[in-house]
């Protein structure tokens, strides 16, 4: 079941519960009128909790990380060689390490 269907079903159930509580007057009206606000706050807390759990269980991709680090290192080395050549062309002594 998609998340939007679950959320919509929960919203319909909560709305039906809220309307029934308003009509039966078992709970004071001042409390009943605040129920949608409590629901929105609870839904926000649930969302933050799910994001936190997802971040804690985030899978690591070691192979991609190693590949990315290798590519970055090669690009940096290419930039260093290019910079040394540029500086040599402009008469700057960059040493004998190549």
* Ranges of residues in the chain whose predicted pLDDT is under 50: none
Same domain, 76 and 34: no
Pick from 76, 79, 77: which is nearest to 87 by CA? 79
Alpha-carbon distance values, 23 to 7, 36, 51 (Å): 24, 15, 37
Same domain, 65 and 78: yes
Residue ranges in 25-61 assigned as alpha helix (H):
29-33, 35-56
| pLDDT of amino acid 61 | 76
CA angle, 92 as apex, 90 and 95 as ends, to 5°? 135
Same domain, 46 and 17: yes
| pLDDT of amino acid 96 | 64
Same domain, 28 and 41: yes
pTM higher than the cut 0.85:
no
Same domain, 70 and 52: no
Same domain, 88 and 45: no
Q: Give the length of the chain.
A: 98
| pLDDT of amino acid 98 | 52
Same domain, 93 and 63: yes
Q: How many domains does the chain have?
A: 2
| pLDDT of amino acid 95 | 75
Same domain, 67 and 39: no
Same domain, 44 and 18: yes
| pLDDT of amino acid 28 | 77
Same domain, 38 and 64: no
Same domain, 51 and 9: yes
* Domain with 38 in it: 3-56
| pLDDT of amino acid 63 | 79
């Amino acid at each position: 079941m998609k998340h939007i269907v679950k959320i919509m079903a929960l919203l319909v159930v909560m709305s039906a519960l809220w309307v029934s509580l308003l009509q039966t007057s078992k709970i004071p009206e001042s409390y009943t009128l605040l129920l949608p606000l409590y629901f929105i706050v609870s839904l926000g807390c649930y969302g933050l909790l799910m994001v936190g759990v997802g971040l804690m269980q985030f899978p690591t991709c070691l192979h991609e990380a190693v590949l990315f680090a290798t590519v970055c290192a090669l690009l940096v080395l290419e930039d260093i060689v290019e910079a040394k050549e540029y500086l040599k062309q402009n008469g700057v002594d960059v040493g004998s390490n190549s």
